[in-house]
Structure 1
Amino acid sequence: MAALVRPADWQKEQESIRTIREAVFVQEQKVPADLEWDNQEESSQHFLVFNGDVAVGTGRLSKSGKVGRMAIMPSARGKGLGAQLLKAICDFAKLQGFRSVYLHAQQHAEGFYIRSGFIPEGETFYEANIPHIKMIRQLH
């Protein structure tokens, strides 16, 4: 399924971004709300994934080159939207002059990121009581 993935304006579109992240991280994964929302929101470039005219996914790229807060609504999973979102974020980062990007992958999603060219680095660690692994992708 081809979806529209585009950069989002945090100031104008945070309601859509918050709705998706609230559903996936706070409700589904039980991440405490005070950990979900941080001081990177305003300075990061956010992205939205649309299925028709409905926002069903989001992610962000921080100034440091960290890809994060990637989430696809449960009803829209299994259609390749996460891969399209990740590609759009990496393409954007490359256009911005980043030579590489990194992320903290939830351990269960490590294979997804490996398929998109990310390489695990270091030991497993915990964020919000969820096991994560740092992963890096070169943007040649």
Structure 2
Amino acid sequence: MPASDVRVAATESDRAAAFRVRHAVFVEEQGVDESLEYDGKDDDAVHFLASEEGTAIGAARLRELDDETGKVERVAVREAHRGNGWGRDLVTAVEAEARRRGLSTLVLHAQTAVESFYHRLGYRTVSEEFEEAGIAHVEMTKRLS
């Protein structure tokens, strides 16, 4: 994999690029309704962007649920770039930001198709399967050290 460029989407341009990735993956590829994808919580989140040679290829967001807990959301990598470590790099960046903010626990709702990916990153499943946006998910959690 080329040198990874994963960063907080601090500019409007980076944030717009992250939203385009999310739209491509969740709305176009997976058929998630736009009203569910853009849920009104983006202004309360820290956004992340992965890019390769200037092209946006991945995105994620982190929301603080309380003083100790953050929620990893909207982790997306464009199809042509999957399997090359970008998802791992995005989650690592989210975890680093969560630690920087003093959070001790992260939770997420993982699509069951990628549950094993999160297991490899140290997350554990804490729920039965449930449906979200018409897709099977499980809740997962990880204590940050």
What is the TM-score of this pair, normalised by structure 1? 0.95
Q: Which residue of 2 aligns with 1:45?
A: 46
Q: Which residue of 2 aligns with 1:35?
A: 36
Q: Which moved more, 1:27-36 or 1:8-17?
A: 8-17
Identity %: 38
- The letter of the residue matching 1:40 is K
Task: Tell me the CA shift for residue 11 of structure 1.
Answer: 3.9
Alpha-carbon separation, structure 2, partners of 1:109 and 1:20: 18
Where 1:30 maps in the other structure, the secondary structure is: coil
Where 1:15 maps in the other structure, the secondary structure is: helix
Deviations 1:66-97 (A, max 9, x none): 00000001121111110011111111101110
Which among 81, 98, 110 is matched to residue 86 of structure 2?
81
Alpha-carbon separation, structure 1, partners of 2:45 and 2:26: 18
Q: Which runs of 5+ in 2 are unaligned?
A: none
Where 2:127 maps in the other structure, the secondary structure is: strand
Q: Aligned residues, how many?
A: 140
Output the aligned Cα RMSD. 1.1
Q: Which residue of 2 aligns with 1:120?
A: 125
Task: Tell me the CA shift for residue 30 of structure 1.
Answer: 0.3
Alpha-carbon separation, structure 2, partners of 1:53 and 1:28: 22
What is the TM-score of this pair, normalised by structure 2? 0.92
Deviations 1:3-56 (A, max 9, x none): 111001364433212211111000110000111001210110000001121111
Alpha-carbon separation, structure 2, partners of 1:74 and 1:133: 22
- Paired residues of 2:19 and 2:59 also in contact (CA < 8 A): no
Matches within 5 A, 1:93-132: 93-132=98-137
Alpha-carbon separation, structure 2, partners of 1:133 and 1:72: 19
Q: Which residue of 2 aligns with 1:8?
A: 9
Where 1:123 maps in the other structure, the secondary structure is: coil
Q: Which residue of 1 aligns with 2:57?
A: 56
Alpha-carbon separation, structure 1, partners of 2:99 and 2:16: 27
- Paired residues of 1:10 and 1:42 also in contact (CA < 8 A): no
Q: Which runs of 5+ in 1 are unaligned?
A: none
